[in-house]
């Protein structure tokens, strides 16, 4: 396939829309106007991102150089299939989350809502910025912007718990990026003179195996948003945030930015040939596998629903890292698809957790026995989310896991197949009992009355939408499957 | 007109200072406008010269028509032009921002304060503009003496710390003078360009006297810039002074001394001598590493805002000294770029700290509670300044660090690169500690408490922002930090690259 380069400022526009929304949101006098503007910004952003889709699907690549911030090193955007996919998902889910936020934040009478919507908009700017970055410097810029923009969201409640969680959050995220990513990036730049992502990497043959190993480890761990153990503790801590934040940022935007960065570095900086020739990808696969199993085991013992979801996310993120690091065509396809499938599945689960909390004030799984009687729609959506995350049909998660499994075989590494299967069983073990207990329990056990008492419509509709999409994606995985295949074509030409 | 600007830059403020001093008896109300006009004019001429230099190369002015090497020349080249702009811009912004503070702190001696203020700026501008090694000493003393006074007219402990500064500063200046004296004995010249020519001769390259001159000159400058372990005078002097003084002296003195170090190193002793013959680079970078590490650690140990900032200044001095002595193009670029960026960053943080103390009457960490609610604009600017010091893109601090670290990697000096990363991490801790206090804690709380997140504390969170005359310059400075970062590419290609001699790889 021949890729053509189209020069267009649309990637920049997509990034700027939510940035420009901030002053607008600040100047709004009533909350209705403010939330209307959030919707307008979110919809516009999605439309701009989506408007680039046909070009990308036709095999083009969109580039836009903003300016040279350092001589020969510009702030530049490049939209390829992989970035497109991620931007599409996150900007679409922003619309849904905005609706959900309205229901959630209002029903809990949260304070500082204007600040909340502003930082949300900033976070989305940064997320799409990462997705469209053309070089490591631009990526780093938006990555840091995201770290800082999410801090006030994580610490929204401004109490002691938020304070200590915020500290953990920054310690891991900002600390790792400054201590690991920054020096690795500077070292690479000092030695190669470039930071532009190339389809097969740009490192060349100038580095010894040990140097490469150190760089790979620094970059894989440095993007701590990917939640690879042992740099994962920030994610459970960040669950102190309001649930829409956990839903969009800590199931989709922030954490996926982490794995997206890892994937970009593996494919665009080092390149598949280089990593395969030194067999360094196996190191990354092993690290990811340890995280997958360990996170799933820890998830089993969590009683807080959001904390269980957080550990589940840590495990699922490493699926993506594992898939990318396997570097076989199917595995990378599966990894990219998993960004999408897991996003829809997990955001549904978080929406449900938030809905349960907003409606009943319950946070712990042990107190949710019989909740299906009271909130049947929410818990049905929860079931769909669970199926998708476990990877069972008829949900989107099945497709990505299918490709991942095929990928382990294609890469001839059956050990990692075992990891995937064990992990799936563990996923089922920590999720299914919640659903089972919610619906099937004796009247004595039930902690809720049989009367249906759902959350406000603003909360309920978004979670039904994301649940439905999870199912739809099983039947119609386009355009994501196509985009993933195009991405693979570009990265490993398989 | 442009031809005479270098001289006017020094002469005009010098005369204005005298006028202001006289006016303070007759019409004290005119002091501020006159000072403002004078420094504003200096800024305008500096910008004019910078544009001229970028367009058509360095501007040389011979005082009184006595040509070099006999007469005194003023040379505005690619290195000095941007620093001139920084010096005058910092002075102007601080003057506006501090006018209320000056009214409050020095109501009965405003005239004196403004006179000293202008003289200090004159000295700084002169140090940057002069092309004569001895003249540099004279201007150094003008700046230093006025600096001691500016700091000394603060409260309580200020006179004592100023006296301490005076003793050590005088030793530093004497060292420099002694070095220039030896150089004069060895070469018979005081003109910088002339001296550089002499340095190319083999007999000077190997002379012990020249080597001693270098060592003692540089040591003098190191004392003046507060390079660890010669930094003892700095923290007290800068933190006990009135914020109106410290926001002028702190951003400028250390940075202009770094400029003097680069000037003397590159254009008097020449790179071939400093980096080639003497081979002091490696040792000096390790001293810089020590400065960075100790400055950062000592900053961690502080319990008040100004004290913490002064130790950050000490660490930043280490950044620039280290970058220069790496001896490669990237390192020196980073060092020169950081003169500009760090002056702006320091100004931003000192102004913000000044605005905070203007309202809260204290800069103790425990008195910063709830500030994000009470002083949102000040804290926003403070946050930008903090991010610049931590080195988060796109603020300017990131880009100077970029050059410095790459310089370190290219020179194979990984200890220096590691020290910079370490310092960034420590800075993150330093500032987020303050953010936590200012964002989470409520004023009037004894210790940590739990306020359910549904409760509002509106009655405690009334906005008590600093006066507009403080906020506007502060905001401009904060925006400047981002603008400087974004335009790093232009600054480096059009100005700084041309300021570094071609021989440096």
Best CA proximity match to A356, nearest among A454, A451, A432: A454
Task: Give the best residue of B425, B453, B486, B498 to mutate against chain A (max A CB count within 10 A).
Answer: B453
Q: In what order do the strands lie in the sheet with A73-79?
A: A4-7, A60-70, A73-79
pLDDT at residue A174 is higher than 50: yes
Give me the DSSP letters along B323-334. HHHH-SHHHHHH
Query: Which residues on A lie below 8 Å from B486 (Cβ)?
Result: 67, 69
Q: What is the ipTM of this complex?
A: 0.86
Chain A closest-CA separation from residue B352 CA (Å): 20
Residues of B (464-503) whose Cβ lies below 8 Å from A:
485-486, 488-489, 492-493
Smallest CA–CA distance from A171 into chain B, residue? B429
Residues of B (394-453) whose Cβ lies below 8 Å from A:
394, 399, 402, 405-406, 409-410, 417-418, 421, 424-425, 428, 432, 436, 439-440, 448-453
pLDDT at residue A494 is higher than 70: no
Mean pLDDT of A472-479: 86
Query: Which residues on B lie below 8 Å from A73 (Cβ)?
Result: 489
Contact B2, B55 (CB under 8 A): no
Per-residue pLDDT reduced to its tens digit, A293-324? 999 999 988 888 888 889 999 999 999 999 99
Whole-angstrom distance, CA of residue B63 vs CA of residue B375: 49
Residues of A (174-233) whose Cβ lies below 8 Å from B:
174-175, 178-179, 182-183, 186-187, 189-191
Give the pairing of strands A60-70 and A4-7: parallel
pLDDT at residue A94 is higher than 70: yes
Contact B247, B354 (CB under 8 A): yes
User: Would you call B447 helix, strand, or coil by DSSP?
Assistant: coil
Contact A346, A288 (CB under 8 A): no
Best CA proximity match to B152, nearest among B142, B141, B144, B163: B163
Interface residue B461 vs chain A (CB under 8 A): no
Contact B326, B413 (CB under 8 A): yes
**Contact between B428 and A178 using a beta-carbon 8 Å cutoff:** yes
pLDDT-derived band at B460 (thresholds 50, 70, 90) equals low
* Domain encompassing residue A25: 4-492
Mean pLDDT of A451-467: 82
pLDDT-derived band at B448 (thresholds 50, 70, 90) equals very low
Contact B327, B272 (CB under 8 A): no
Give me the DSSP letters along B79-91. THHHHHHHHHHHH
**Contact between A190 and B410 using a beta-carbon 8 Å cutoff:** yes
Closest CB to B402: pick one of A167, A178, A186: A186
Smallest CA–CA distance from A66 into chain B, residue? B486
Per-residue pLDDT reduced to its tens digit, B376-424? 899 999 999 999 999 888 899 999 999 999 999 999 899 999 999 999 9
> How many CB pairs lie under 8 A apart between chains A and B?
91
Instruction: Tell me the average pLDDT of chain B.
Output: 87
How many separate domains does chain A show? 1
What is the token pair recorded at A346? 């997990």
Query: Which residues on B lie below 8 Å from A191 (Cβ)?
Result: 409
Contact A474, A395 (CB under 8 A): yes
A391: left (phi over 0), alpha (psi -120 to 50) or beta: left
**Contact between B452 and A163 using a beta-carbon 8 Å cutoff:** no
To the nearest 10 degrees (0 to 180), the angle between helices B414-440 and A182-192 is 150
Q: What is the pLDDT of residue A458?
A: 81
pLDDT at residue A55 is higher than 50: yes
Query: Which residues on A lie below 8 Å from B405 (Cβ)?
Result: 182-183, 186
pLDDT at residue B82 is higher than 90: yes
Per-residue pLDDT reduced to its tens digit, B171-217? 999 999 999 999 999 888 888 888 888 888 888 777 888 899 999 99
pLDDT at residue B454 is higher than 50: no
What is the token pair recorded at A8? 């267009």
Whole-angstrom distance, CA of residue A257 vs CA of residue A147: 10
Query: Which residues on B lie below 8 Å from A130 (Cβ)?
Result: none
Whole-angstrom distance, CA of residue A132 vs CA of residue A15: 9
Mean pLDDT of A442-470: 80
Better-scored residue on pLDDT, A10 or B453: A10
Per-residue pLDDT reduced to its tens digit, B466-499? 888 889 999 999 999 999 998 888 888 888 888 8
Closest CB to A179: pick one of B425, B448, B452: B425
Per-residue pLDDT reduced to its tens digit, A239-288? 888 888 888 888 888 899 999 999 999 988 888 888 888 888 889 999 99
Interface residue B391 vs chain A (CB under 8 A): yes
Whole-angstrom distance, CA of residue A192 vs CA of residue A288: 28
Q: What is the pLDDT of residue B497?
A: 87
Query: Which residues on A lie below 8 Å from B450 (Cβ)?
Result: 159-160
Closest CB to B406: pick one of A137, A174, A190: A190
Helices (H), A193-253: 209-222, 234-237, 243-248
Q: What is the pLDDT of residue B449?
A: 44
Whether residue A394 is preceded by a cis peptide bond, meaning omega within 30 degrees of 0, is yes
Give the pairing of strands A60-70 and A73-79: antiparallel
Question: Which of the residue ranges A208-217, B155-164, B460-469 would you say has the lowest mean pLDDT?
Answer: B460-469
Whole-angstrom distance, CA of residue B123 vs CA of residue B10: 8
Q: What is the pLDDT of residue B106?
A: 79
What is the token pair recorded at B15? 């005369």
Query: Which residues on B lie below 8 Å from A152 (Cβ)?
Result: 439
Residues of A (43-72) whose Cβ lies below 8 Å from B:
67-71
Give me the DSSP letters along B368-422. GTTHHHH-HHHHHHHHHHHHHHHT-TTSHHHHHHHHHHHHHHHTT-HHHHHHHHH
Mean pLDDT of B308-314: 93
pLDDT-derived band at B445 (thresholds 50, 70, 90) equals low
Interface residue A335 vs chain B (CB under 8 A): no
Mean pLDDT of A147-164: 86
Give the pairing of strands A60-70 and B59-62: unpaired
Chain A closest-CA separation from residue B453 CA (Å): 5
Task: Report percent pLDDT > 70 for chain A.
Answer: 99
Per-residue pLDDT reduced to its tens digit, B211-242? 999 999 999 999 999 998 888 888 888 888 88
By residue count, chain A amounts to 494
pLDDT at residue B452 is higher than 70: no
Whole-angstrom distance, CA of residue A130 vs CA of residue A255: 12
Whole-angstrom distance, CA of residue B150 vs CA of residue B113: 7
Whole-angstrom distance, CA of residue B60 vs CA of residue B53: 10
Listed in sequence order, the residues at least 6 apart from B22 whose beta carbon sits closer than 8 Å to its beta carbon are none
Whole-angstrom distance, CA of residue B481 vs CA of residue B390: 13
Query: Which residues on B lie below 8 Å from A164 (Cβ)?
Result: none
Whether residue B69 is preceded by a cis peptide bond, meaning omega within 30 degrees of 0, is yes
Mean pLDDT of A422-451: 82
Closest CB to B453: pick one of A75, A159, A174: A159
pLDDT at residue A136 is higher than 70: yes
Give me the DSSP letters along B109-148. -HHHHHHHHHHHHHHHHHHHHB-BHHHHHHHHHHHHHHHH
Task: Give the best residue of B329, B373, B386, B393 to mutate against chain A (max A CB count within 10 A).
Answer: B393
Per-residue pLDDT reduced to its tens digit, A368-422? 888 888 888 888 899 999 999 898 888 888 999 999 999 999 888 888 999 999 9
């Amino acid at each position: 396939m021949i890729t053509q380069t189209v020069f267009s400022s649309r990637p920049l526009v997509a990034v700027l829309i939510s940035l420009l929304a901030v002053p607008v949101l600040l100047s709004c006098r009533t909350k209705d106007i403010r939330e209307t503007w959030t919707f307008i910004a979110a919809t516009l952003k999605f439309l701009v991102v989506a408007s680039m889709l046909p070009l990308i699907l036709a095999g083009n690549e969109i580039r836009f150089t903003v300016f040279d911030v350092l001589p020969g090193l510009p702030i530049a955007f490049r939209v390829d299939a992989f970035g497109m996919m991620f931007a599409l998902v996150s900007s679409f889910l922003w619309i849904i989350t905005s609706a959900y936020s309205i229901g959630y934040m209002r029903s809990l009478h949260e304070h500082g809502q204007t600040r909340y919507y502003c930082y949300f908009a900033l976070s989305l700017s940064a997320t799409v910025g990462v997705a469209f970055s053309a070089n490591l410097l631009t990526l780093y810029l938006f990555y840091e912007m995201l770290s800082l923009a999410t801090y006030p969201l994580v610490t929204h409640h401004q109490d002691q718990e938020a304070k200590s969680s915020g500290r953990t959050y920054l310690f891991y995220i900002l600390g790792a990026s400054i201590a690991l990513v920054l020096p690795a990036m500077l070292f690479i730049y000092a030695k190669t003179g470039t930071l532009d992502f190339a389809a097969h990497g740009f490192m060349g043959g100038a580095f010894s195996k040990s140097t490469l190993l150190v760089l790979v480890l620094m970059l894989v761990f440095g993007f701590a948003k990917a939640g690879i153990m042992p740099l994962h503790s920030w994610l459970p801590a960040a669950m102190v945030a309001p649930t829409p934040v956990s839903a969009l940022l800590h199931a989709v935007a922030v954490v996926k930015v982490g794995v997206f960065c890892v994937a970009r570095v593996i494919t665009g900086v080092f390149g598949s040939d280089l990593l395969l020739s030194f067999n360094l990808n196996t190191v990354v696969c092993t690290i990811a596998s340890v995280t997958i199993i360990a996170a799933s085991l820890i998830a089993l013992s969590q009683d807080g629903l959001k904390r269980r979801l957080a550990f589940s996310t840590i495990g699922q993120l490493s699926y993506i890292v594992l898939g990318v690091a396997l570097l076989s065509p199917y595995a990378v396809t599966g990894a990219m698809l998993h960004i999408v499938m897991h996003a829809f599945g997990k955001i549904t689960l978080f929406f449900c957790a938030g809905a349960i909390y907003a409606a009943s004030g319950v946070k712990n799984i042990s107190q949710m026995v019989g909740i299906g009687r009271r909130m049947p729609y929410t818990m049905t959506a929860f079931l769909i989310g669970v199926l998708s995350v476990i990877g069972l049909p008829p949900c989107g998660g099945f497709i990505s896991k299918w490709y991942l499994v095929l990928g382990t075989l294609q890469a001839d590494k059956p050990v990692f197949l075992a990891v995937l299967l064990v992990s799936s069983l563990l996923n089922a073990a920590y999720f299914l009992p919640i659903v089972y207990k919610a619906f099937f329990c004796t009247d004595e056990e039930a902690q809720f009355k049989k009367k249906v008492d759902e959350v406000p419509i603003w909360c309920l509709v978004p979670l039904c939408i994301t649940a439905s999409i999870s199912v739809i994606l099983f039947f119609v995985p386009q355009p994501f499957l196509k985009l993933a295949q195009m991405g693979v074509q570009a990265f490993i030409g398989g | 007109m442009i031809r005479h600007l270098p001289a006017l830059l020094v002469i005009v403020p010098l005369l204005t200072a005298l006028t202001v001093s006289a006016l303070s008896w007759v019409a004290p109300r005119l002091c501020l406008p006159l000072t403002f006009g004078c420094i504003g004019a200096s800024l305008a001429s500096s910008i004019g010269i910078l544009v001229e230099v970028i367009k058509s190369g360095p501007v040389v002015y011979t005082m009184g028509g006595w040509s070099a090497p006999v007469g005194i020349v003023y040379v505005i080249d690619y290195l000095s032009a941007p620093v001139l702009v920084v010096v005058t811009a910092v002075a102007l912004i601080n003057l506006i921002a501090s006018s209320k503070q000056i009214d409050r702190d020095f109501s009965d001696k405003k005239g004196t304060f403004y006179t000293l203020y202008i003289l200090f700026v004159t000295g700084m501008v002169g140090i940057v503009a002069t092309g004569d090694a001895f003249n540099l000493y004279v201007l150094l003393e003008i700046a230093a003496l006025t600096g001691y006074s500016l700091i000394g007219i603060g409260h309580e402990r200020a006179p004592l710390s100023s006296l301490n500064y005076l003793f050590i500063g005088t030793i530093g200046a004497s060292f420099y003078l002694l070095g220039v004296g030896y150089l004069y004995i060895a070469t018979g010249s005081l003109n910088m360009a002339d001296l550089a020519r002499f340095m190319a001769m083999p007999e000077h390259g190997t002379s012990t006297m020249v080597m001693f001159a270098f060592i003692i000159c540089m040591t003098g400058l190191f004392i003046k810039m507060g390079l660890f372990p010669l930094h003892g005078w700095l923290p007290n002097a800068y933190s006990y002074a009135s914020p109106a003084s410290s926001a002028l002296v702190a951003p400028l003195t250390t940075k202009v001394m770094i400029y003097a170090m680069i000037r003397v190193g590159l254009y008097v002793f020449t790179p071939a001598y400093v980096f080639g013959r003497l081979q002091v680079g490696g040792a000096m970078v390790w001293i810089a590493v020590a400065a960075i590490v100790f400055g950062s650690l000592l900053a961690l140990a502080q319990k008040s805002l100004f004290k913490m900032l002064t130790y950050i200044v000490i660490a930043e001095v280490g950044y620039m000294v280290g970058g220069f002595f790496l001896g490669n193009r990237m390192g020196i670029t980073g060092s020169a770029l950081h003169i500009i960026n760090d002056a702006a960053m320091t100004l931003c943080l000192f102004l913000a700290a000044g605005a905070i103390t203007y309202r809260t009457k204290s800069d103790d960490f425990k008195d910063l509670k709830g500030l994000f609610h009470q002083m949102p604009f000040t804290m926003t600017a403070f946050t930008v300044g903090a991010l610049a010091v931590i080195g988060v893109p796109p603020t300017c601090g990131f880009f100077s660090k970029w050059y410095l670290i790459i310089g370190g990697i290219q020179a194979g000096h990984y200890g220096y690169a590691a020290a910079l990363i370490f310092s960034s991490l420590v800075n993150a801790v330093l500032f987020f500690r303050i953010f936590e206090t200012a964002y989470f804690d409520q004023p009037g709380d004894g210790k940590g408490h739990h306020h359910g997140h549904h409760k509002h504390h509106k009655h405690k969170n009334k906005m008590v922002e600093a006066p507009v005359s403080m906020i506007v310059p502060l905001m401009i400075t904060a925006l400047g930090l981002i603008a400087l970062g974004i335009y790093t590419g232009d600054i480096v290609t059009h100005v700084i690259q041309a300021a570094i001699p071609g021989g440096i790889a």
